[in-house]
Structure 1
């Protein structure tokens, strides 16, 4: 059995470690490139979400590399993600590929079905081995999020901002290569030390922008055209609303490993504008925008795949939030036609707007 899975940001590093520790032969899909996108667009329904198209591209490239088993997550609610696995399976089989697909549906209390999927993939594995593998993969997922936060917090303050991306990429490689939890933790300490050693701009107060929206386009730099890097190099401190480890805790394990007070808080903040679940991260996009407004952020950028129903609902509500709470919001829909030049122009214009707004407020004070 040669196992593969879709890319979503840095997820492949943690998932590869987990599956390898479980004794599986792992064939990660190659890094996402234009070829990946072209393969997905060519073989997917025209109005399918961008993540589905990229998943198809991931699978084709992995199957070409020798994979024979695909691991895919399932979903519930109005978001089309719940149909991804079955749709992708039919597309790939129509293309002539021979493979098995194991779909892990959210347990939602039905642990027997979840266990059966796990058993189909792993056979009769001991809980001790499963726990040990989980700890190593989990340590890497947390480390990846920590160096991402360090990078976003440091980049706008640096004299040479491009150095931040260089250090971040080095951190990704070192975490991928780490053989133990202690080695993984040592990488985070090294990255923190590396950032502390760089020359910083004195007395610089960066603009603060929150990033909200659909999880895939937020976590996958290829889809959002490396928005965190671009904003950071414009002197903006970016705070991403969701990280991989948080998503794993909340959506795969239903808050078993941590309480859900933050999620409940976000839902309460969203209530005046949206008081029920609409699928995906639509409700969170509204609540987190309110949160950023209350925390004094200068603006919010809202990302969603073109045709994504939950984010379309959020996008229709965010202008009201923006007006009532006096926080500028830029909504960007992303698909295979999104161009880098126009995208950068919109980001630069938004950052310029935020800077002018801040200057006016200082003059009033």
Structure 2
């Protein structure tokens, strides 16, 4: 058995550590490239969203590397994520004659339960305590990397050498991935953040909040490394979606009945949006209001081309931007998006924000 799963930001750092700790054979997911997108697109339905195409490409490349056990994710609600697993199974069957096992982790009805059951299935000789320990440690790692990433986005634009801050962030994230204990994770996190803080000054840069669809925001290949791009431009960035916070809410909080993220975003989004529209649409609206109320100079809304929840959210976002007089840039991304085009639009947007801030 050799397991592989789709690539998504720094999620692989914690998951690889978890699988290794449980002695589960796995293959590192190849980095996303143009080939990944093309391969996934060739076995994807017409009009499907970019996250589907890329995750499909990840699984197919995994098979080419020798994987025989694939792990994918699905959800419920008004979003294509609800049938990712079913459609991907059809595409995988068409692409290979091998005996491939496909496991699904359900992100909506019970991420923790689905993940636990899967790990119990593939680790017959490991105790329940060991599985729970490694799940909790993986979540701890993700939250630590979240904190390091947020620190990079805060201290980077306040440093004369933002590239150095970005390097410290990457090094810190890599060190978290080899930590042997919970205490080690905390130590590495504090050291990485402390090193960044020591290089930062007291500047008050333009502040931008990034909202939108989850996968687009957390996968640098898809969003053209927008966070690092903005940091290098001297812009403080706040990504309103975090892998660690999401995993923590969907696992440890949810099993104790403390998960209330949707309720909180619904409270924030009213009266612009009064119900859940699927995907991350409600979160986008609520996050936009939060940015407007917390002194942000602008908002970037990024989502996959054709993503219905985010398209629905745009009606609320336009009203929020108008009522709070906060500029908003919308980026609709697919496999044909150009790096040059995205960079040009972002540079123009930031230039407008800086001029606006200087006049205030």
TM-score (norm 2): 0.93
Distance 2:288 2:314 in 1: 11
Does residue 56 of the first structure (1) align with residue 59 of the second (2)?
no
Matching residue of 2:36: 36
Distance 2:5 2:23 in 1: 16
Does residue 136 of the first structure (1) align with residue 137 of the second (2)?
yes
Distance 1:330 1:191, change over 3 A: same
Distance 1:320 1:113, change over 3 A: closer
CA offsets 1:76-103 (integer angstroms, 9 cap, x no match): 1110101111111110110114310111
Matching residue of 1:181: 182
Does structure 1 retain, via aligned residues, the 8 Å contact 2:50–2:334? yes
Distance 1:258 1:31, change over 3 A: farther
Q: What is the count of residue pairs matched by the alignment?
A: 359
Range that drifts further, 12-21 or 120-129: 120-129
Range that drifts further, 61-70 or 328-337: 61-70
**How many Å apart are 1:109 and its aligned residue?**
7.2
Distance 1:105 1:316 in 2: 29
Distance 1:113 1:173 in 2: 27
Structure 2's unaligned 5+ residue stretches are none
Distance 1:10 1:111 in 2: 19
Distance 1:109 1:155, change over 3 A: closer
Distance 1:44 1:108 in 2: 25
Distance 2:50 2:117 in 1: 30
CA offsets 1:140-163 (integer angstroms, 9 cap, x no match): 112211111111111100101111
Does structure 2 retain, via aligned residues, the 8 Å contact 1:144–1:172? yes
**How many Å apart are 1:125 and its aligned residue?**
4.1
Matching residue of 2:324: 325
Distance 1:75 1:136 in 2: 24
Does residue 214 of the first structure (1) align with residue 213 of the second (2)?
yes
CA offsets 1:44-79 (integer angstroms, 9 cap, x no match): 223111111111111122222221111122201110
**How many Å apart are 1:327 and its aligned residue?**
1.1
**How many Å apart are 1:256 and its aligned residue?**
3.4
Distance 1:123 1:280 in 2: 35
SS of alignment partner, residue 275 of structure 1: coil
Does structure 1 retain, via aligned residues, the 8 Å contact 2:269–2:286? yes
- Please list, as runs of the form range in 1=range in 2, the aligned pairs for 1:275-314 lying within 5 A after superposition: 275-314=274-313
Matching residue of 1:85: 85
Distance 2:292 2:144 in 1: 28
**How many Å apart are 1:121 and its aligned residue?**
3.4
SS of alignment partner, residue 197 of structure 1: helix
Distance 1:120 1:127 in 2: 11
CA offsets 1:103-153 (integer angstroms, 9 cap, x no match): 122473799877655543334642211122123212211221111111111
TM-score (norm 1): 0.92
Distance 1:252 1:192, change over 3 A: closer
CA offsets 1:268-292 (integer angstroms, 9 cap, x no match): 1212111111111001101110111
- Alpha-carbon RMSD: 2.2
CA offsets 1:204-244 (integer angstroms, 9 cap, x no match): 21111111111000000000000001111111110111111
Distance 1:147 1:343, change over 3 A: same
Distance 1:110 1:345 in 2: 39
**How many Å apart are 1:261 and its aligned residue?**
5.2
Does residue 145 of the first structure (1) align with residue 141 of the second (2)?
no
Distance 2:153 2:113 in 1: 41
Distance 1:180 1:60, change over 3 A: same
Distance 1:112 1:60 in 2: 26
Distance 1:25 1:38 in 2: 28
Distance 2:60 2:90 in 1: 13
Does structure 2 retain, via aligned residues, the 8 Å contact 1:17–1:136? no
Distance 2:264 2:314 in 1: 20
SS of alignment partner, residue 332 of structure 1: strand
Range that drifts further, 148-157 or 103-112: 103-112
Range that drifts further, 5-14 or 117-126: 117-126
Does structure 1 retain, via aligned residues, the 8 Å contact 2:15–2:138? yes
Distance 1:32 1:149, change over 3 A: same
